[in-house]
């Protein structure tokens, strides 16, 4: 490196030593800066990680109570304002209407239950509309029928169309409901149809009712007339005199089939807004009808029916081969069906 030479006089020369190289100093500063940078970054990353964990934990604690969907029966029923093609709703055009369907099996009390609902001034339940084969031939015919009914263009003796607060019908599980469940569930969810499952706990009693009703279709015990439902104690007593003989060999298998059908329907319609009711509970506890009205969003009223129960008392009074049935079900999961339940 060049040296700096200063001349002060003719005979004097002062030679300054060379300056120290700045490279070493720069290297020291650079290394120090890198060490400091690494330290600062590690501290910052640690703080950010800790803060993120705290935030995640806080979010989990806050959201946990809302992570589960509310029970389907607790959802608020959707209100509709239909515009029928066959008549004018006049001053009721702004009155909301709720849609429902009673899903049940034959001889499970659905007829009696429907008369209770229809005793409400604002309810129209239109019977078994899918008992007619053409209406349930395929998914398209089912949807077409449902659209007509929920648009209030369906007329029966139960129709209170102009100012109805709830409109529906009853649908037996074996009337195309199970076979077309995917299309029906999609329709119910899209249109906000509430499903009311009405089942029987004691399937043996249901079997007695099914066999007796089937017999009366041909025997016509009431003065040559077949009646599925009666409105007097005398008529009920006349029909109850017939005691069906139950095939004890197939009894357990038949009861199992009924259970499977009901369980399958409940599984298929689990995503819909629904409520599960049992005939025995409605008979023994009238306050259950208040729950039904709340479920449908109806103003509360005392519901009544003129129908009279046909098979009263212990089942031993209504089954011809009671000893065989009792022996077959004793010790099985269906043994409790042998006892009086109401």
Q: Residues 11-47: pLDDT tens digits?
A: 544 444 555 456 766 677 676 677 666 666 665 555 5
CA distance 306 to 310: 13
* pLDDT number for residue 69: 43
pLDDT in tens, 175-197: 999 999 999 999 999 999 999 99
Q: Which two tokens stand for residue 199?
A: 């089942």
Query: What percent of the chain is predicted at pLDDT more than 90?
Result: 65
Residue holding tokens 């004890």? Answer: 248
Q: pLDDT class for 52, splitting at 50, 70, 90?
A: very low
CA distance 226 to 213: 9
* pLDDT number for residue 320: 98
- CB contact at 8 A, 243 and 319: yes
* pLDDT number for residue 9: 45
Closest CA to 163 of 227, 225, 84: 84
Q: What CATH number was assigned to the domain covering residues 90-338?
A: 3.40.50
Helix locations, the chain, DSSP H:
23-63, 110-118, 139-150, 181-191, 203-219, 233-240, 251-268, 279-284, 288-296, 322-329
CA distance 130 to 139: 12
Per-residue DSSP letter, 176:
I
pLDDT in tens, 123-173: 999 999 999 999 999 999 999 999 999 999 988 777 776 678 899 999 999
Measured in degrees and rounded to the nearest 5, phi and psi for residue 160 equal: -130, 55
Q: What are the domain boundaries of the chain?
A: 90-338
* pLDDT number for residue 209: 97
Q: pLDDT class for 93, splitting at 50, 70, 90?
A: confident
């Amino acid at each position: 490196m060049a040296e700096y030479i200063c001349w002060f006089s003719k005979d004097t020369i002062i030679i300054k030593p060379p300056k120290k190289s700045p490279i070493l100093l720069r290297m020291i500063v650079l290394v120090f800066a890198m060490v400091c940078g690494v330290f600062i970054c590690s501290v910052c990353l640690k703080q950010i990680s800790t803060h993120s964990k705290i935030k995640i934990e806080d979010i989990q604690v806050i959201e946990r109570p809302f992570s589960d969907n509310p029970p389907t029966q607790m959802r608020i029923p959707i209100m509709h304002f239909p515009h029928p093609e066959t008549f004018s709703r006049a001053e009721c055009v702004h009155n909301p209407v709720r849609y429902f369907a009673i899903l049940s099996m034959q001889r499970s009390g659905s007829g009696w239950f429907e008369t209770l609902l229809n005793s409400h001034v604002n309810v129209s339940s239109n019977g078994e509309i899918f008992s007619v084969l053409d209406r349930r031939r395929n998914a398209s015919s089912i949807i077409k029928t449902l659209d007509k009914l929920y648009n209030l263009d369906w007329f029966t003796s139960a129709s209170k169309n102009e100012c109805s607060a709830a409109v529906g019908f009853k649908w037996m599980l074996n009337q195309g409901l199970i076979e077309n469940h995917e299309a029906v569930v999609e329709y119910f969810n899209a249109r906000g149809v509430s499903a009311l499952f009405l089942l029987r706990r004691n399937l043996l009693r249901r079997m007695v009712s099914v066999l007796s009703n089937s017999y009366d279709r041909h025997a016509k015990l009431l003065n040559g007339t077949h009646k599925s439902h009666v409105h007097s104690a005398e008529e009920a007593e006349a029909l109850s005199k017939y005691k069906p003989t139950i095939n004890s060999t197939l009894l357990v298998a038949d009861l199992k089939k009924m259970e499977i059908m009901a369980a399958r329907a409940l599984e298929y319609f689990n995503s819909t807004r629904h409520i599960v009711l049992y005939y025995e509970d409605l008979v023994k506890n009238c306050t259950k009808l208040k729950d039904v009205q709340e479920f449908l969003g109806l103003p509360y009223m005392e519901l009544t029916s003129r129908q009279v129960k046909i098979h009263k008392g212990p089942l031993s009074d209504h089954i011809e081969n009671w000893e065989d049935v009792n022996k077959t079900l004793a010790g099985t999961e269906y043994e409790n069906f042998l006892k009086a339940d109401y």
